[in-house]
Amino acid sequence: MAADNRDKRADDAPDIASGRLDAARYRAHFGDLHPVLAREQALVEANRCYFCYDAPCIEACPTGIDIPGFIKKIATDNVVGAGMRILEENIFGGACARVCPTEILCERACVRTAQEGDPIQIGRLQRYATDPILDAPKHPFARAAASGKKIAVVGGGPAGLSCAHRLARLGHDVTVFEARERLGGLNEYGVAEYKVPGHFARHEVDFILGIGGIAAKTGHALGKEISLAQLRRDYDAVFLGMGLAGVRALECEGEGLAGVANAVDYIAQLRGAADFGALPVGRRIVVIGGGNTAIDIAVQTKRLGAEEVTLVYRRGADDMGATEHEQEFAQVNGVKIRHWAKPAHLFAGNGHVVAAQFEYTKLDGGKLVGTGEKFSVAADMVFKAIGQSFIAGPLGADALELENGRIKIDANFLTSVPGVWAGGDCVARGQDLTVEAVEHGKRAAMAIDAALRR
User: What's residue 1's pLDDT?
Assistant: 38
Residues 6+ apart with CB under 8 A from 339: 313, 315, 316, 317
Alpha-carbon distance of 319 to 308, in angstroms, equals: 24
pLDDT 10s digits, 311-347: 999 999 999 999 999 999 999 999 999 999 999 999 9
415 touches 427 (CB < 8 A): no
SS3 371: strand
pLDDT for res 3: 40
Helix (H) or strand (E) holding 352: strand 352-364
% of the chain at pLDDT higher than 90: 90
Contact 102, 124 (CB under 8 A): no
pLDDT of the residue at 398: 66
Range with the lowest mean pLDDT among 201-205, 267-271, 369-373, 427-431? 427-431
| pLDDT band, residue 100 (cuts 50/70/90) | very high
pTM recorded for the entire structure: 0.94
* Three-class SS state of 238: strand
Residue 397 confidence (pLDDT): 67
Query: pLDDT-derived band of residue 432, with 50, 70 and 90 as boundaries?
Result: confident
Residue 453, exposed/middle/buried by CB under 10 A (0-12, 13-18, 19+)? exposed
Residue-wise pLDDT for 250-261, tens only, equals 989 999 999 999
pLDDT tier, 117 (very low <50, low <70, confident <90, very high otherwise) = confident
Delineate the domains of the chain, giving CATH numbers in brackets: 16-30+247-387 (3.50.50.60), 39-135 (1.10.1060.10), 150-245+390-453 (3.50.50.60)
Burial track 154-171 (b if 16+ CB lie within 10 A, e otherwise): bbbbbbbbbbbbbbbbbb
Q: How confident is the model at residue 105 (pLDDT cuts 50, 70, 90)?
A: very high
CA–CA separation, 161 and 356 (whole Å): 40
Give me the amino acid identity at 146: A
Half-sphere exposure of 448 (CA within 13 A, CB side): 37
Residue 103 amino acid letter: E
At 13 the pLDDT is: 66
The most distant pair of C-alpha atoms in the chain lies apart, rounded to whole Å, by 73
Contact yes or no for 406/428 (Cβ under 8 A): yes
CA 114 → CA 17, 56, 61, 108, 204, distances in Å?
48, 12, 17, 8, 34
DSSP classification of residue 271: H
CA distance 292 to 300: 12
Using a 10 angstrom Cβ sphere, with 0-12 exposed, 13-18 middle and 19 or more buried, the burial of residue 140 is: middle
